[in-house]
Amino acid sequence: MTNRQESSADQEKVALLIQYLGTNYHGWQRQPNQVTVQSEIEQAIASVTGRPVTIHGAGRTDSGVHAAAQVAHFQYSGPIPADKWAKMLNGRLPDGILIRASANVPQDWHARFDALWRRYRYSFYTDPTPNLFVKPYTWHYYYQTLEESLIQAALNPLIGKHHLAAFQRAGSTRPHAWVEVQAVECYRRGPFLHLEIQANGFLYGMVRLLVGLLVEVGIGKRSPENFTDIWLNQQRDLVKYSAPAKGLCLLRVGYPSPPFPEHIWFDTQPTFVFNS
């Protein structure tokens, strides 16, 4: 009866800043008979509280996709201060998941619904010689030269609110395909090529499908104008390739009032800078 009488006034809402290597996980979202990031964290919290708990994430990442600053929250009633949860959970989580910080947030705050934007980074390694230390985080693409100026030219028209059904995988439950793209960027660091895209939300499989088509632009197989025509005319049949998951990382999530200091969440996926 005591548990039933607990109200939100008796509870604390705890926000988590989460990093994970998606390699060994079947995505973020809890799924039956699958090892996921959400289920691992929920099990770690339950091992402390002694009761089941649900965490709510800012976004869902696919199988194999990484995160540098995923955000989630959960409700808790007990003596543990919000800022102590990060250290406590890290001792209970597998090596591929890390809670970078934890903080108290207001009861009306929500990790998903209060988010203004999400930003993803896709990384290529373009040197012909393989490198074990970058393999888990990049698409080793060295077959043809990727021209970043062509990719940037193709990206620029995406800024704004558009219907991007051409970049939506089958099986999505989203009621529409409208996306407000806020920023796009393509840049090179030695043998590494990075694409970044920021939007208010993303369609199921959107970034990997978009990158797969951008590769055709970067090697000169398609023009930037043709790339734009494809998504403007919703020609999903022409978007044939999805880029490998391991090159994609949820870089950060933006809020009106971020619950964590900027140096903790803003740019925490290192970019390799060595020369080939």
Residue-level pLDDT at 6: 46
pLDDT interval class at 273 (50, 70, 90):
confident
Q: Which of 214, 219, 218 is nearest to 231 (CA)?
A: 214
Residue 108 annotated to the active site: no
Summarised one tens digit per residue, pLDDT across range 113-167 is 999 999 999 999 999 999 999 999 999 999 999 999 999 999 999 999 999 999 9
pLDDT interval class at 4 (50, 70, 90):
very low
Structure tokens at 144: 């043809």
* CA distance linking residue 88 with residue 98, whole number of Å: 11
User: pLDDT exceeding 70 applies to what percent of the chain?
Assistant: 96
Other beta carbons within 10 angstroms of residue 222's beta carbon come to 19
Summarised one tens digit per residue, pLDDT across range 33-80 is 999 999 999 999 999 999 999 999 999 999 999 999 999 999 999 899
Query: How many residues make up the chain in this entry?
Result: 276
What domains does the chain contain, in order, with CATH numbers? 2-105 (3.30.70.580), 117-255 (3.30.70.660)
* CA distance linking residue 263 with residue 260, whole number of Å: 8
Long-range contacts of 125-129 (CB under 8 A, 24+ apart): 125/191, 125/192, 125/272, 126/191, 126/192, 126/193, 127/191, 127/276, 129/276
Model-level pTM greater than 0.85? yes
Which phi and psi angles does 56 have, rounded to 5°?
-115, 120
233 pLDDT above the threshold of 70: yes
Please give the C-alpha separations between residue 61 and each of 20, 21, 122, 212, in angstroms, as whole numbers: 11, 11, 13, 17
Q: What is the mean pLDDT of the chain?
A: 93
* CA distance linking residue 269 with residue 276, whole number of Å: 20
Structure tokens at 41: 């964290």
248-254 vs 66-76, strand pairing mode: parallel
pLDDT interval class at 11 (50, 70, 90):
confident
Residue-level pLDDT at 275: 65
Residue-level pLDDT at 9: 56
Residue-level pLDDT at 3: 42
* CA distance linking residue 165 with residue 179, whole number of Å: 9
8 pLDDT above the threshold of 80: no
β-pair partners for 13: 75, 105
* CA distance linking residue 164 with residue 231, whole number of Å: 6
Q: What is the mean pLDDT of residues 13-17?
A: 98
pLDDT interval class at 226 (50, 70, 90):
very high
